[in-house]
Chain A
Amino acid sequence: MRSDHTAAVAETVEHQDAQRRRWGALRARLLQVNPSAMPTAAAIVLFVAMLVFGEVSYGGIFQSNTLSNLLINNAHLIIIAVGMTFVILTGGIDLSVGAVIAFSSVAGVMLANAGWNPWLVMVVMVAIGLLFGLVAGTLIEFFNVQPFIATLATMFLGRGLASMLSTTPERLADDSPIRLLSRRITLVDGPGVNDLELTAGGIIAVVVLLGGFFVLHRTRRGRTTYAIGGSENAASLMGLPVRSTKLMVYMVSGGLAGVAAVVYTSRLGIAQNITGTGWELDAIAAVVIGGTLLTGGAGYVLGSAVGALVLGLMNVLIVRDGGINPEMTTVITGAILLVFVLLQRGVTMRRSDL
């Protein structure tokens, strides 16, 4: 009995020990994670802090509808931010996403109204995005045009083609299946409009995010993307497929702009040539807030999604405040952004100075 008892005690102790060791290892791992993860972690912390701040000062933030709408209203931004992350990780930039969305959605709605199969139309919309990405990628990769300029050109091109197609809003039929993507699925029915809801668009955003994470962290292509951002020259001398990967990232960004076009069009039910003006800057800001370096090579796609949500939350907070002088809104937006990157910088600096 005694020995049994001791054995049992020893076992528990051992078990606890093992657990502690496991915990210790986990903690150690968490503490010494890649320093490049710090800005992203900071972004997440700051996002939560903003939520709490909003709840305390204005209320009504931690409630189902506000949170649901944060995702639903920013689904398109999350999607293009994921695409933008790919491009920025290679050290490039894609200014064309907003214009691509405009062209893709106008063209898509016009085709749908011309009687094309709506599912086919959605595919075409994504394909248009891919095509723009291909053009930009080709200019960059084969003709050595700088990404900023190449995508500025495709931005003008997209905007111009969209305007040439139509300068009036193109309306989608109310019963079009494309509209289904924005049908709200109620998960938890609360009082009034205070429901926990989700749309297919929101789900797509999450899937895109997870897909982006998988590709970047679990495939060779993804790692090559990071390598290119570290040093393109080194990556090509290491025998990595630099060219095709760079082509790929622009196509990913363009294709996701196409997806965002589908999601956004579905939500509004219309398409317009002026849709998406300035969204490229939102997406870039989201990526940067999320902790990705604009010089490439470091960052996380998850951070970009958080960045997109931060931007969305910022708007909500400004609206909730309601008393901000209209002249001041851009100053305040800028200031919040600045505070954000400064805090992030502070956090990362202390880490690297250790």
Chain B
Amino acid sequence: MNVRDLARRALAARYIWAVVAILILLAVNLVRDPGYLAVAVNPVTENLSGNLLDILRNAAPILMIAVGMCLVISTSGIDLSVGSVMAVSGAVSMELLSSADGAPSAAFTAILLALLVSTVIGVVNGLLVAVVGLQPFITTLVMMLAGRGIAKVITSGQNTTARNETFRWIANGHVLGFPVVILLALAVVLVVGLVVRRTALGLMIESIGINARASRMVGIKPRGLLITVYSVSGLLAGIAGLFTVSTVMTVDVSQTGSAMEMDAILAVVIGGTALAGGKFSLTGAVAGAFLIATLNKTVVFLGVPSSATPAFKAVVIIVICLIQSERVRGYVSSRRRVPATRAKEGVA
């Protein structure tokens, strides 16, 4: 494995363009402020601080849901409920903490319960898709509506605030000056990555995403796999919810996690996983998540007016999509031939 090989492999990966886009955005910010990339110890809080760390911290929840979404999309499904599950998880934990004392045990109970509820929602999604045979889009759309309602019911519509130092530490704590939440997020990603790639889970998920009928004939049980995948997505969305509410120790039932499903889907697709399902790239989803966090931060850093923000994002997305497209790449490296017809296979 020499450097040339590595470089070639990297270029072949579709998510390379997400990385390039991140670098470009960072460069733009750097032009705006030469000290942008500096990471320094904050004299008051004695923790590391800097824009890069801010980006990483903000990427943590997106990272979680993007990883879950990546697996779901790979089975040729979709999970629109992740944003609402975030709200549910936040609501459960905040409601519990607001009526408890500030003891660490309360925090652990809250975390466990929140994750349990989130996973249950995921399981329900999975059952509806795999056993009842509903379409993933509509199933999770229903769950997106119902989930936000459930969050509101849990807090009786209030934006619940709570105090608990242990819980707050998740998103605000530091280990050796480094934000805990990033470490947690990366650890979760690593675990998921290892589980799907070191076992045959990933291969089987891809297989049912590409051709469910053929997979069944091979002896793969799509049902169990689908339920697992949706549950994992629910669980990860629950974690994302915890990350989000613990930053501000408030759950905002109508805002927490709202429209986050779009961010997650975008991250996954920019990371090179096709929405039609099949081969997935967790690394790509991670890169996509970082790109979205960087983009969000850049918009604010550059002071793009609120009214122009969506257009700005649109332009960035379109540009990335164009760069990723075979056609444009064909123009760039004109040596490669482009088949007149896409190799896209009609999915049965």
Q: Do chains A and B touch in the complex (CB under 8 A)?
A: yes
Chain A residues proximal to chain B, CB less than 8 Å:
139, 142-150, 152-157, 159-161, 163-164, 167, 230-234, 236, 273, 281, 284-285, 288, 293-295, 325-335, 337-338, 341-342, 345, 349
Determine the chain B residues whose CB is within 8 A of the CB of A148 once the complex forms: 265, 269, 275
The answer to whether B138 and A142 have CB atoms under 8 Å apart is: no
Q: Contacting B153 at CB < 8 Å: which of A155, A328, A333?
A: A328
The answer to whether A233 and B344 have CB atoms under 8 Å apart is: yes
Among residues of A, the one whose C-beta sits closest to the C-beta of B322 is A143
B255 at the interface (CB under 8 A from A): no
- Chain B nearest CB from A307 CB (Å) reads 11
Complex interface residues of chain B between 120 and 150 (CB less than 8 A to chain A) = 128, 132-135, 137-139, 141-150
Among residues of B, the one whose C-beta sits closest to the C-beta of A339 is B142
The answer to whether A159 and B310 have CB atoms under 8 Å apart is: yes
The answer to whether A145 and B143 have CB atoms under 8 Å apart is: no
- Chain A nearest CB from B90 CB (Å) reads 15
13 more CB-based (< 8 A) A-B contacts, given A143-B328, A146-B269: A149-B265, A149-B317, A153-B314, A157-B315, A161-B311, A231-B346, A284-B137, A326-B152, A328-B152, A330-B149, A334-B145, A337-B141, A341-B138
The proximity string for B residues 43-64 relative to A, scoring 1 for CB distances below 8 Å and 0 otherwise, is 0000000000000000000000
- Please measure, in the bound complex, the distance between the C-alpha atom of A65 and the C-alpha atom of B32, giving whole angstroms: 59
Determine the chain B residues whose CB is within 8 A of the CB of A163 once the complex forms: 306-308, 310-311
Q: Contacting A164 at CB < 8 Å: which of B145, B308, B313, B344?
A: B308
Chain B residues proximal to chain A, CB less than 8 Å:
128, 132-135, 137-139, 141-150, 152-153, 156-157, 262, 265-266, 269-270, 274-276, 306-315, 317-318, 321-322, 324-328, 341-342, 344-348
Among residues of B, the one whose C-beta sits closest to the C-beta of A325 is B153
Interface of B, secondary structure class, is helix
- Please measure, in the bound complex, the distance between the C-alpha atom of A295 and the C-alpha atom of B342, giving whole angstroms: 19
Also in contact, A144 and B326, with CB within 8 A (given A157-B310, A160-B309, A345-B133): yes
The answer to whether A144 and B134 have CB atoms under 8 Å apart is: no
Determine the chain B residues whose CB is within 8 A of the CB of A160 once the complex forms: 307-314
The answer to whether B138 and A329 have CB atoms under 8 Å apart is: no
- Please measure, in the bound complex, the distance between the C-alpha atom of A288 and the C-alpha atom of B265, giving whole angstroms: 20
Determine the chain B residues whose CB is within 8 A of the CB of A142 once the complex forms: 327
- Please measure, in the bound complex, the distance between the C-alpha atom of A157 and the C-alpha atom of B318, giving whole angstroms: 10
- Chain A nearest CB from B99 CB (Å) reads 18
- Please measure, in the bound complex, the distance between the C-alpha atom of A196 and the C-alpha atom of B305, giving whole angstroms: 47
The answer to whether A335 and B265 have CB atoms under 8 Å apart is: no
The answer to whether A153 and B317 have CB atoms under 8 Å apart is: yes
The answer to whether A143 and B325 have CB atoms under 8 Å apart is: yes
Also in contact, A149 and B345, with CB within 8 A (given A143-B328, A160-B312): no
Also in contact, A337 and B318, with CB within 8 A (given A163-B308, A163-B310, A329-B149): no
The answer to whether A288 and B135 have CB atoms under 8 Å apart is: yes
Among residues of B, the one whose C-beta sits closest to the C-beta of A331 is B149
The answer to whether B310 and A156 have CB atoms under 8 Å apart is: yes
- Chain A nearest CB from B202 CB (Å) reads 21
The answer to whether A273 and B307 have CB atoms under 8 Å apart is: yes
- Please measure, in the bound complex, the distance between the C-alpha atom of A66 and the C-alpha atom of B314, giving whole angstroms: 40
Determine the chain B residues whose CB is within 8 A of the CB of A230 once the complex forms: 346
Among residues of B, the one whose C-beta sits closest to the C-beta of A285 is B141
Instruction: Show 29 residue pairs from A and B whose CB-CB distance is below 8 angstroms, ordered by the A residue.
Output: A139-B322, A143-B322, A145-B321, A145-B322, A146-B276, A149-B265, A157-B315, A160-B308, A160-B311, A160-B312, A160-B313, A163-B311, A164-B307, A164-B311, A231-B346, A231-B347, A233-B346, A284-B137, A288-B135, A293-B135, A294-B135, A294-B138, A327-B152, A330-B152, A331-B146, A333-B149, A334-B145, A335-B146, A338-B146
Among residues of B, the one whose C-beta sits closest to the C-beta of A93 is B137
Determine the chain A residues whose CB is within 8 A of the CB of B348 once the complex forms: 231
Determine the chain B residues whose CB is within 8 A of the CB of A156 once the complex forms: 310-311, 313-314, 317
Q: Contacting A157 at CB < 8 Å: which of B270, B314, B328?
A: B314
Also in contact, A153 and B156, with CB within 8 A (given A236-B341, A273-B307, A341-B142): no
Determine the chain A residues whose CB is within 8 A of the CB of B128 once the complex forms: 338
Determine the chain A residues whose CB is within 8 A of the CB of B311 once the complex forms: 156-157, 159-161, 163-164
Determine the chain A residues whose CB is within 8 A of the CB of B314 once the complex forms: 153-157, 160
The answer to whether A337 and B269 have CB atoms under 8 Å apart is: no
- Please measure, in the bound complex, the distance between the C-alpha atom of A232 and the C-alpha atom of B344, giving whole angstroms: 9
Determine the chain B residues whose CB is within 8 A of the CB of A293 once the complex forms: 135
- Please measure, in the bound complex, the distance between the C-alpha atom of A143 and the C-alpha atom of B325, giving whole angstroms: 5
Also in contact, A337 and B145, with CB within 8 A (given A143-B327, A153-B317): yes
The answer to whether A330 and B146 have CB atoms under 8 Å apart is: yes
Determine the chain A residues whose CB is within 8 A of the CB of B274 once the complex forms: 146
Among residues of A, the one whose C-beta sits closest to the C-beta of B323 is A143
- Chain B nearest CB from A39 CB (Å) reads 11
Also in contact, A144 and B141, with CB within 8 A (given A153-B317, A331-B150): no
Among residues of A, the one whose C-beta sits closest to the C-beta of B308 is A164
Q: Contacting B142 at CB < 8 Å: which of A159, A236, A338?
A: A338
Q: Contacting B134 at CB < 8 Å: which of A157, A326, A331, A341?
A: A341
Most A CB within 10 A of own CB, among B132, B149, B275: B149
